[in-house]
Structure 1
Amino acid sequence: MSASSRFHRAVVTGGGGFLGSYVCEQLLAAGVEVVAIDNFSTGHWSYIEHLVSDPRFSLVEADVSEGIEVSGPVDLVLHMASPASIPEFYRLPIETMLVGGTGTYHGLRLAHRHGARFVLTSTSEVYGDPLRHPQDEEYWGNVNPIGPRSVYDEAKRYAEALTTAYAKQHGLSVGIARIFNSYGPRMRPDGRVICGFVAQAVDGLPLEIHGDGSQTRSPCYAEDTARGILAIAESEYGLPVNIGNTQEISIKDLALLVCEVAGAPPALKYIEADADDPRQRCPDISRAKRELGWQPRVPLREGLRRTVEAARRERQARDPESPFIPGPGTQREEER
């Protein structure tokens, strides 16, 4: 089933955010009318400026924690609004809790009023610093409820509980996506490991590694993540589903790979580790394959190539005097 055959009009909270913009893009490509809601506390206009000329796209600037009102029919609500990086939820701790709590409730009520399907974008952070590896959806996690990451971790855990409870009480059709380490063009470098590495490599700076670099992640390209979220939306599956890539890599090796792809010297700088930083992060995506027929398509090296190329173009746009220096395998648009 395609999104265009099931849905006609979708509401995307956090539609002006990094992942939200990819989801809006894919919905529009499938012929779905999109209402994006965002207060741009962490999103950015540049993420969606290429969408505003589409007559099927509309933007509402609002804080979903204060309520959601959308006129006209709605048959899909995707709740994606939330700070999602360490600097963001350090800066906005209360807002992070509220958007996971009251924001989720308002999204559920909107879906209920319209008889729409509701999909929550949760996170691999619900597993905390996991004691099970890889992480499957049956694992309950190892989370510090009052640590520096707790406002985000617990907001998402609460949002999952609230979504599940609302579905049971009101018979609402819901889905839950547990997202693992998405990356790609458009993502700001602050607080995001891959895009931070890419920005540093493009600028000719040493790549900063928190801790000793032995901790692992499983990066998933943003287009693949968005496809996974929409696969959940298109299904009737109601339990949490991991959406991520099983290509696990250490932070140190990831930094060296970014340097290689960018054609930059392998200069690394080790700094203080983040508190409660998970030591291992890798999804078991058996459920996604079985229930949704979904799996990632973009290999890490290719995703990094696209991300590096986009970062170089953004750098050149900011500073036209800066030469465009293609990395290995990169082609300028006019050469394609």
Structure 2
Amino acid sequence: MARVGPHPAVADVRRAVREALADVPADALVLAACSGGADSLALAAALAFTAPRLRLRAGLLTVDHRLQPGSAGRAETVRGLGEEMGLSPAEVLTVTVGTEGGPEAAARAARYAALDAAADRLGAAAVLLGHTRDDQAETVLLGLARGSGPRSLSGMAASTGRYRRPLLHLSRATTVAACRALGLTPWDDPHNADPRYTRVRVRHKVLPMLEAELGPGVAEALARTAALAREDADALDEWAESAYQNCALSDIGDSVKLAVNELEKLPDAVRRRVLRRAGIAAGAPSGALSAAHVLAVDRLVTRWHGQKAVDLPGGLSAIRRYGTLIFAISPIP
């Protein structure tokens, strides 16, 4: 008996995109970020199908990182596929990848900068990213290995600003099956098999080992853990923001002052979020302000014995004076 309707994998991806765009106003522009891999290619095809039915305009962006021979030609092929799907505009964004933070972080920074600029220029309401449940599981494992706390364990958000990730609850196998059913041939990026990259080792060694030793469903369980951790982290962040407003004696320019007696009343998880928030407000770069820095400042509250100032990134110091915790440019007068 012939199947009525699309292949189940195609239907799953289309449904995910439709649900992710439910609140986007009619006639708005939505862009799919597409590398040509199975995940983003299935996403782009689903957007092309779904957008007209939601009375939305849909386009495609593909980033040429210029890290491999032939990258410009592959990017042009992806752009052409977008046009064939009816996605307009369909553009190639050519970037220069730096070195800060390592190759993966540098490429990611260049990619998002280009996507942000293009979305601003085109007036896009949303940019769709093709991260799947498998990507989420890898992100959670990497966060666990770094020991960077519940915010890192919460993985990627389904929605962050203009960026939306409709496929976070779907497996990579689903996107591969969707492409096959639609007659689309994904491009397999050689970097996705290069063991020099930490995420590649997690994908091809760590997760398969966990599945073999613990049984199937590890990726799904990790993604579920991420969702639960995100709920908790969001609640703690909201509490910490309220606590910050209560503790702040002043928050002007590059100087922040907090009342120690109010900080002492807070649970550890909330207080340390307040301290991190204060450090960033005073000018410390968020990416450089580590858990070790925050813990050192925390000891000025919880283990006070007259110690000296704590040095922080960005030329800042934190010091306790007469019941006040001060974050300011060194040296603090």
> Does the TM-score normalized on the shorter chain lie above 0.5?
no
| Structure showing greater Rg | 2
TM-score (norm 1): 0.25
Higher share of residues assigned helix:
2
